Amino acid sequence: MYSKTATTKSISSYWDNNTQVRRSIEKLKRKLENADAVVIGGGAGLSASAGFTYSGKRFEDNFADFIEKYDFKDMYLAGFYPYDTLEEYWAYWSRYILIKADCFIPRAIMGCGNAQSLAATGLMIMRPLLRKWLPNRKICVFRQGFIRRHKGSGVLYLELGVGGNTPGIIIYPFWRMTAANPKAVYACINYGEAYVPGEITKRSICISADIGEILKQL
């Protein structure tokens, strides 16, 4: 059983007219200020809010040959196409990785395949976006030990734009940890996909709106 928030498009009068969203923003502000610890999980919606989308000009400029041949609509769907040869498969993916890397990732991290470097890569992508929207808050690297140290304390699990393609990585663990800790709160900012299981509804804040616009209000 899931409890979904209303999905409303972000427009200029949105904040003045939507009382529920304004209340949710104020509630999230208080939770951020009073939490013993904040654990942030970011997904594709976070980068999409910053303008790094799978479609549009960036896709059209860099994949014109693939678009002409296969009529692809975006980079995401093109990645699942069953190419006839490995050469064409890697021609697509090497270009995709290069484009993504040029957005955020320092060259020193590229080419490293261990778990630590992958975590660092994810942080490199998230940190500049979070600093853009939360300039007055300290954004830190955390390890599993951080989560263990705060087990049982007032933790805010903040999910930003994690879609349904990979819920087992962030969404489900956040739900489980919130359910297991009576002092924990789960918050989700995700346009069109802000929902929680009924078991933690009373300790959840769901906002279905543009991540960047919401973070500016915090």
pLDDT tens per residue across span 67-89 = 999 999 998 889 999 999 999 99
| CA angle, residues 24, 15, 134, in degrees to nearest 5 | 65
What is residue 205's predicted lDDT score, i.e. its pLDDT? 93
| Region 135-150 average pLDDT | 65
Residue 195: CB partners within 8 Å, gap ≥ 6? 2, 3, 4, 5, 188, 206
Task: Give the span between the Cα atoms of 185 and 165, in whole angstroms.
Answer: 23
pLDDT in the model for residue 146: 76
* The predicted structure's pLDDT at residue 7: 36
Q: How far apart are the first and last CA of the chain?
A: 30
pLDDT on residue 181? 94
**In this structure, CATH architecture of domain 2-50+115-216:** 3-Layer(aba) Sandwich (3.40)
- Stretch 51-63: mean pLDDT: 84
HSE (side-chain half, CA atoms, 13 Å) at 26 = 7
Q: Mean pLDDT score of the chain, rounded to an integer?
A: 76
pLDDT of residue 58: 85
- Taking the domains of the chain in order of start, what are their residue ranges? 2-50+115-216, 57-104
Q: What percent of the chain has pLDDT over 90?
A: 27
Return the percentage of the chain with pLDDT > 70, whole number.
Answer: 71
- pLDDT at residue 15 in the model: 44
